[in-house]
Amino acid sequence: MKWTNTRGFTLIELMVVVAIVALLAIIAYPSYTKQVQKSRRETAESCLMELAQYMERYYTTNMRYDQDTAGNAVSLPTTDCTQNLNGFYTFSFSGTPTATTFTIQAAPAGAQASDSCGTLSIDQLGAKTPTTSGCWTN
């Protein structure tokens, strides 16, 4: 029986390709997760802006931030935006709103907890924290 010369990949060549793919994955994955965190942070910023706008409409209706005209305490609404980030951010008041002030915060949770920007917040004046460069997009 005569063996013909067949062409194909050797095990060594295959292992080199696997090693290269693994190396690329090791380099790309941290960059990917950082971009996902940044995307979630920017969505949380949008949610905070939406909630701040809600509070301004609430003030326009009730002439105060802390309660309505019947004396019921204000609470943040559940929006599609905040529900989409459920498990990644918790939205709440930072402290208790007063008649003239409020601060809303987005505290990172779950996979977002390692985000370097930490808790994001906005108040009735539009002041945003943290003020670290790159934490707020605008």
Q: What pLDDT, in 10s, does the model give residues 88-117? A: 999 999 999 999 999 999 999 999 999 989
Q: Residue 37 corresponds to which tokens in the numbers above?
A: 């965190």
Asked if the model's pLDDT at residue 137 lies above 90, the reply is: no
Range of the structural domain that residue 90 is part of: 11-129
Query: Cis link prior to 130 (omega < 30° from 0)?
Result: yes
Confidence at residue 133, expressed as pLDDT on a 0 to 100 scale: 82
Number of domains in the chain: 1
d(CA 87, CA 13): 44
- Report if pTM > 0.85: no
**Does residue 85 lie within any of the structural domains?**
yes
